[in-house]
Structure 1
């Protein structure tokens, strides 16, 4: 079993010409820096108020201006494998029901009966319709109101007006994205800035879900910051990843999204996405895997990493979202395999899943929780991101840009493939 920070391309779904050109530019830069022994750094150290992690006012702005306006990754498409498959989750206090209808379309609904607001589903599973457990109102897979219990006693209602609240949703790159505002007129597919094209090689829609778990943590940004730099790896994770891990990272941005890539391959391992071992760009017709190495960061809170177990490519999709309060968050780790594993490989995957849960749940999140505690005292006025932590600088700059943008500016800001 090997651990590799990387993402590879599936031959059945090659990336488009424009996306490949971008990926080749990234790869050429990596090879050039490796050959020259150079390493790019941010222009200066960035400082901002520590209350960004503790202020209820800032948190409220993030919930309203980010998590209810931009497309969020809510699940991998393969988590809803067939008609009626559903999954429930909560994002910043908003209960969401994801469901695939009998035509294969995914829907994102407010998980609330339109009678009195009770949840119509919990957990995950499969259902032809959803029945409110409070009074028995029933809803279709697309949220339409089908029936009112004891209608003659209840009185006349307009069923069309009492459908469940629907969020704008799209499936791109094998992921389900939604804007958590039922009144939004924006098209989430038009606001991905080209990142969906860059990750198209995953073809995650056809993968197999191995397991999923949710970890609880502090403020969502503190929980997610650890995904955006490798500076801490040989220190905080010295007993898990080892002290020999590089603390450097290359960063490549696509609008608010980015890739975080280690400056060399893993010693003693041979994996299909090791660009450094190939030492050149893949030729036409060769696998695209080396072009897609790195940890993918999908704004505002999703990370994708790739692993190889028993010759099977796997991914860990980590989704970090705010809790209902400023000092709470959840990290959902979903582990997927490109092909159904045999018993031995599945056992190895389960072992890796437990290891990754330990790294995040027992090392990253407790550290972040202490940061939250000390910042809440008000005794630390500022936090700083070094020149070697460009991914953090990029992420926090984009948080401010999105919060400040009005609806028209936001659509334009996120719509086209762009550069930082």
Structure 2
């Protein structure tokens, strides 16, 4: 599949052609502001679809943990002594207090409210003043566990403890396509989280390059292409600029290579572009001092329709030296500014305008095929019942 995408990109480059979507798509603007629609998305999307919540290397050692919140659901990710990752509801089964915050390493998790203690897999192992508390069945009071899998160096979670689905069976092959990065052995540089408006308004900016030379003219420059090629794998996508980045001689520049890489050459050009992992994660590659890194962006809904978080996680393929780490940290700051000072404020103004109800529709052009694909998949999954969900997600679908 990667070779097929690369061949098509090179063909369009030689022929100077550019594919467009069949028509302009019109979307009801209330889909960004309607609380009832958002409640459906939480139930039908974020409680049923495997979500990328972390890179494996963020939890490199046994005991490493990370907390996140998705649509108001507090989640604790932790790697146990055997190396298995668990995804738990971050709530003590006594009275619901969070047992962890932020990220770090812990052999056990002790509730800060009353001192109940839980193992790395969520089992309840200790009750403070247990004689005074009274007899309870500790085996029945483990923390809620969510289905979780590690694939392609990423941690995927279904946020329904009662889901009958294995998230590994619902990836539709996207894990195999991004496996070429080899993220499991990479290095976590830093993470930062920013707050924004509706999650779809926030994530829409990842799905087209039409805005780049306009909104980002001061940061990326007006010479950037506003076009994009789109390749789909089920609900997932890859967004690729139609020519090499100006002045960029990175190892993943397929256009500079002008052909498929040979078997003994770096695999990087086949991974070019921005990878969109449905419903809200993206992967962008960068090179500094010859070392490869990626920006893993995860957009998650907040507790209500008008809130979201964007977490930027920066990973390096090899442990960077002091100079390269400094350059990576500088790039991290720059990219946070692009999103925090340009993308998110713009999305917030969109949210304010759409919330008035005076704009009835938004439109996605023929040059915004990724947005069309994404929103059609959202609609399809909202209508899909649980019996057909796994088959719908697991079967790679042609581009619509």
Shorter-normalised TM range: over 0.9
Distance 1:241 1:108 in 2: 38
Unaligned runs of 5+ in 1: 1-21
Of the candidates 23, 41, 47, which is equivalent to residue 62 of structure 1?
Answer: 41
Q: Could you say which structure has the greater relative contact order, defined with CA pairs below 8 angstroms and 6 or more residues apart?
A: 1
Aligned to 2:244: 265
Q: What SS does the aligned partner of 1:70 have?
A: coil
Q: Distance in 2 between matches of 1:236 and 1:270?
A: 25
For normalisation by structure 1, the TM-score amounts to: 0.94
| Aligned-partner Cα distance in 2 for 1:311–1:286 | 15
Structure 2: distance between partners of 1:156 and 1:387: 65
Structure 2 partner of 1:191:
170
Please state how far the C-alpha of 1:369 moved relative to its aligned partner. 0.1
Are 1:303 and 2:288 an aligned pair? no
Which position in structure 2 is the counterpart of 1:252? 231
Contact 2:234 2:393 in 1 (8 A): yes
Paired residue secondary structure (1:199)? helix
List alignment gaps of at least 5 residues for structure 2: none
Query: What residue is the counterpart of 2:17 in the other structure?
Result: 38
Equivalent residues of 2:74, 2:90 under 8 A apart = yes
Of 407-416 and 135-144, deviating more is: 407-416
Which residue of structure 2 aligns with residue 17 of structure 1?
A: none
Q: Could you tell me how far 1:185 is from its partner in structure 2?
A: 1.1
Match runs of 1:361-376 below 5 Å? 361-376=340-355
Give the 5 Å matches for 1:1-80.
22-80=1-59
Q: Choose the corresponding residue for 1:405, options 381, 384, 390.
A: 384
Alpha-carbon distance between aligned partners in 1 of 2:121 and 2:395, rounded to the nearest angstrom: 30
Distance 1:155 1:415 in 2: 47
Which residue does 1:168 correspond to in 2? 147
Query: Does residue 1:291 correspond to 2:270, yes or no?
Result: yes
Equivalent residue number for residue 333 of structure 1: 312
Aligned to 2:202: 223
Matched residue of 1:205: which SS? helix
Q: Displacement of 1:267 after TM fit?
A: 2.5
Instruction: Give the alignment partner of residue 109 of structure 1, picking from 88, 105, 113.
Output: 88
Question: How far apart are 1:96 and its partner, in Å?
Answer: 0.2
Structure-2-length-normalised TM-score: 0.99
Secondary structure in 2 matching 1:280: coil
Write the deviation string for residues 189-247 of structure 1: whole angstroms up to 9, x where unpaired.
Answer: 00000000000011111111111000000000000000000000000000000000010
> How many angstroms apart in 1 are the aligned matches of 2:90 and 2:189?
25
2:121 is matched with 142
Superposition deviation, residue 268 in structure 1:
2.5
Q: CA deviation at 1:418?
A: 2.9
Alpha-carbon displacement from aligned partner over 1:250-274 (angstroms, at most 9, x marks no partner): 0000000000000000233211111
Partner of 1:275: 254
8 Å contact 2:224–2:246 — kept in the other structure? no
